[in-house]
Every structure is written in C-alpha cells, then in structure tokens.
Chains A and B, each alone.
Chain A
Amino acid sequence: MSSFYEDEGRFRGILGWIFSTDHKRIGLLYLLAIFAFSAVGVLLGFLMRLELMAPGPTIMRPQTYNAIFTLHGVIMIFLFVIPGIPAIFGNFFLPIQVGARDVAFPRINLLSWWIYMAGAGLAVLSLFTGGGPVDTGWTFYVPYSLRTPVNVPLAVFAVFILGFSSILTGINFVTTTHQLRAPGMTWFRLPLFVWAIYATAWVQILATPVVGITLLLTLMERLAGVGIFDPLKGGDPILYQHLFWIYSHPAVYIMILPAMGIISEIIPVFAQRTIFGYKAIAFSSLAIAVVGSFVWGHHMFVSGQSDLASIIFSLLTFLVAVPSGVKVFNWVSTLYKGSIEVSPPLLFALTFIFLFSIGGLTGLFQGALATNVHLHDTYWVVGHFHYVIFGGTGFAIFGALHYWFPKMFGRRVGKKIPYLAWALLFVGFNTLYFPMLILGWEGMPRRYYDYLPQFHSLHLVSTVGSWILIAGLILMFGHLIYSLFRGEKERLENPWGGATLEWQIPSPPPRENFAEIPRVERGPYEFR
C-alpha cells in the first residue's frame, strides 16, 4: 500500500500539501511552520542572553530589548507551545490512535492551519507597520498597552486570530474522540495521549474565547477609546488581568497536558510494562483541566486584588498541584520492575519528569502568598516557567519526535548522536535556567535591560548555558533532518513494541490510515 506521502489526492506538489485535508499532512504542515517560528524564538532568546552577558548596553538599545523579549514571548507562547503538541502530534496521531481515518472535520482542520498561518502573518506584519514592534511583553497588560505608541492593535488582533485557530482545533479533537472511535475502542481503552489531547481540547474551546474577548476589547480600546479598561475613563485595569489570566493560566495546561500525554505513551513502551494507574492518569488530566481553570488569580497577588481573593486563589493553586503529582508518581511507578530500555525517547521522557518536577516545585513557592510578594516579576518566575514549559513541554516534544519519527517519516534515527545532543541539551538547559532561579531569589527583576553589578556572574553563567543549549538544539535537529533524508528505512510497523494502534499500520501510514477499520480488543498498554 502506498503511504500518504505518495498518494497526493486532488492536487499535486506543494498544492497537494497546503490544500490537503489529510490529518497527517496537516500535522506535518504545522510541524514545519511551528518549528520555523520556534527557531526564530530561539534566536531572539539567544540575542537577549547576549545583551545580558554584561551589565550596561552590550549589543542593543533598551527599546530593542523590550521589543525582543515581547516577540520572543509571543512567538514561544502563541505560535509554538500552545499549538505545538495538539496541532502537530495530535493531528497526526489522535485519529490513528482512536482508529479513525481522519478527524471529524478534515476541512475545518485545514482551515485552522490557514488561520494559524494568517495569524502568524499578521504578527509578523505588526513588526513593520504602525508604531513598530510591540514592547508590552506577551501579556499586553493595560494601561501600558493602551498608551505605548507601538503597534499593539495589529499584534493583539493577530493573537485573537491565532486563538480562533486553536478553538477550531479543539472542536475537531473533541468531536473526533466522541464520534470516530473504532469499534471496541471504549473510553478506557483510549491511549493516554488521546485523553490528554481530549482534556486539552476542552480547555481550548472554553478558555480561549475569554482571552479572545479581552484582546478584542483591548483592540477597541486602542481604536475607539471605549474606556472599559482605561483607568483615566473609569475602567479597571485589574479586570483586564482577571480576564487575561482566566485564559492564560488554563493556557499553561494547554501547553503541559499534551506533553504529559506523550510521556504517558513513551514510558510504558520503553519499560514494556502496563501503565500504573491508567484511570488515575486519565482523570487527573480532566482534574487538572477543571481545577486549573480556577486558579488564575495567583498571577495577580501583587496587582491590588483583594486579600480574600489572593488567599483563596493560593489555596486552589496548591490543590492543582495534586493531580500533577499523581501523574509523576504514576510514571515513576510504571518504571518500577519494568524491563527498561533507555532509548532516546525514554531519556527525554525521564528528563521531562526531572525538569518538570523542578518547575512544578518552584511553582509552589510562587503559589504561597508571602513568598510570592518577593518572587513575583523576578527571574525566579522566568526560571520557573522555562523549567515547566521548555523543560516540560519542550523535552516532551523532543521525546515525541524521536519516538514517532519512524512512524511519521518511515526512517530511523541514528543511535549515538541523540545521546550526545541530549547531554548538551541537559547541561545547557540547567546552566541557562538554574542561575535564573538564584538571580530571582536575590532580587533580579524580570524584563530588565540592565542590572546591578552583583548579578553579573550568574548572568554570565546563564549566557554561556544558552550557547551550550543551542549547540544541543542544532545537533539534535541537524541529526533529525539528516535522518529524514539519509536515515535507514524503517520497514517495521512496530520498532519499539508499542501496543497502540499507530504501531499496527505501516510506517509511514497509508493515506487513510487503515485498510479496514480495526476492531479493538485490548487496552493501549497491554504488551504481548
């Protein structure tokens, strides 16, 4: 049977890709776009670290620095990690894993890729039009975003458009999971990756519109001066923060839940042992999605919100750490007495657990009211969210790339280089971000262009870390690209011995995945 690469459908060549409604092709379109944007994001991060290598002006002017950290944040959050796993791996594997030929709405799926590209295009356009690149930070806080002369209107509109794409993707995945499961694929036979994407999809559907309206209002505020968020006209800027975080805290779960789903796939396969506490993991995804929707106020402890609100949000924040902990314990227990093979995917998964735990535990420090006053808006927070987002989601993506590479591209990844790349990434990552935790603890504020001399040495260490990390990224992606063209052909359907459905069809999969819709008779982690 020919694979989905050969069978082009209605159009040929590049048109056969950008107008394809095949979920696998759309997944790869996203992959290309998302990694291209993230490369720009990495470059911007590299530039910021260079600037901070020494106190005082180093390579750029302050306003440039403000624009760069904003753009870095906007790209990484809205163009990379939020769409990341659902749009790439969710698109590619969710339909296969539930035993379907495609998602429920293939054309809307394609549309959402186009909307994503349009949003990204507008974001790029915003750099060169109006007052130039935005300098507000990715949070677009009012009242500053109402006063700054830069091109806020177009930038917030771009993010609004991106949100629309996210909602459509979410609708597709919920419907697919409900409607297109193969016969015998009961809810508790769904792979945990599907559960994670499913829970995420609900958050995408229900939380994204709230930031949508917030950004629309900010846009109207800029264009028409409505006054709802403008303190000069009686508006309350803190309400902007409420609405913004009602979405943006759940958004961190849009970023991390799918990553947790990937880890739940990789670990049992490489331990050849059924997952420990399937239901606990599945339901903790839902619990995180639900409870996580009501903790947003922990971003606003020093905003001037009421003390009562702060106390309750702090309490809820501690609660939401529980289901995350449940998952970590389940993964570790799965490994216990397994026949473990530390292949690159597992190595990245284990690194996820380690780095995510640091990220999560630092989050608890921030969730405590008294310490938060000290830590808020410092490099501690920067360290925290890089540990969870990059150390968590980022490393899960690396793991997923190595895990699913043979299936997606029909080629194998070499045996040695991934370990070397991993070592560089791991060392580089911690050298880059751990000093940030200390810097923040010592009082270095975030989003600053300059700093006091006593912070110099840690900043220098951090900058050196960024070089090691980037070397690791170049090595890893270089090797993956090399394997794409030169890697050994993967002839096996199931090189790792996985038990989910994607390992029962050819690599790469044929156009409609299954010659015949499978009948599912066992769970996703019943090996042999």
Chain B
Amino acid sequence: MTPEGCGLKTYILVWLGLVVLTGVAVSVAGMDLAGWSTAVALIIAFLKSGLILLYFMHLREGGELRFLRWMIPGVLAILFLFTGLTFLDVAFR
C-alpha cells in the first residue's frame, strides 16, 4: 500500500463528501418521508461508513489482505441475521 494510493486531494474530497452527506442526513430528517426517514438515515450512514472504510481505512487498495474486504460485509450479515432471528421472536410474540 503506497502513500500514493491515496493522494491528499482524495482525502479532502472524501472528507467533503462526508460533511455533505451529514448535511443531507440532517435536512432529510426535517422532511416528512412517511416511515422512510429511518431507512434514508441508515442508507446515508452506510454510505458514510463505506467512504471511511474504502478510503481512510484503505480497503479499496487490496494488497495482500484483500480478503479483508469481505469481512466487513460478512460481519454485518451476521449481525443482521442475529437481529433478524431476534425479531422472529419480538415481532411475533
């Protein structure tokens, strides 16, 4: 992983992106999206995390630890399954 892999400019652009997405999240929260607002908020949160993971945490670059890229989605999938199975209980009591 060379430092050239991510230039100064990329970092600053990513940060700008993060700030803009935060702004979007806050303004969307003010609108009435009829039940969709949580979904939108979460999608924005995932986008922001994706930016951080890919650029700040260098998952985009791969290298010898390329398989790491699959771990985050893998762990999220496990977490969703945990949540989903828990909801099989709480939502159907």
Which residues of A line the B interface, CB within 8 A? 206, 210, 236, 238-239, 242, 246, 293-294, 296-297, 300, 304-309, 312-313
Contact = CB atoms under 8 A, between A and B. Distances in A.
B13 interface: no
A308 B78 contact: no
A242 B81 contact: no
A242 B90 CA distance: 11
A107 to B, nearest CB: 21
A294 B85 contact: yes
Contacts of A309: 85, 88-89, 92
B9 interface: no
Contacts of B89: 238, 242, 297, 300, 305-306, 308-309
Interface in B65-93: 75, 78, 81-82, 85-86, 88-93
Closest 4 CB pairs of A and B: A306-B92, A309-B89, A309-B88, A305-B89
Nearest to B86: A242
Given A297-B88, A306-B88, A312-B88, 12 more contacts: A206-B75, A239-B86, A239-B90, A246-B82, A293-B81, A294-B85, A300-B89, A304-B93, A306-B90, A306-B92, A308-B88, A309-B89
Contacts of B78: 206, 293
A312 B90 CA distance: 14
Interface of B: 75, 78, 81-82, 85-86, 88-93
Contact of B93 (A206, A242, A300, A306): A306
Contacts of B85: 294, 296-297, 309, 312-313
A236 B89 CA distance: 12
Nearest to B91: A306
15 contacts: A206-B75, A210-B82, A238-B89, A239-B90, A242-B86, A242-B89, A293-B81, A296-B85, A297-B88, A300-B89, A306-B88, A306-B89, A306-B90, A306-B93, A309-B92
A242 B93 CA distance: 14
Nearest to B84: A294
A453 B60 CA distance: 69
Contacts of A239: 86, 90
B88 A294 contact: no
B83 to A, nearest CB: 10
A307 B92 contact: yes
A329 B85 CA distance: 31
A297 B89 CA distance: 9
Contacts of A206: 75, 78
Residue in A206, A293, A304, A309 with the greatest tally of chain B CB atoms within 10 Å: A309
A293 B78 CA distance: 9
A206 B90 CA distance: 23
Contacts of A210: 82
Residue in B75, B82, B86, B89 with the greatest tally of chain A CB atoms within 10 Å: B89
B86 A308 contact: no
A308 B81 contact: no
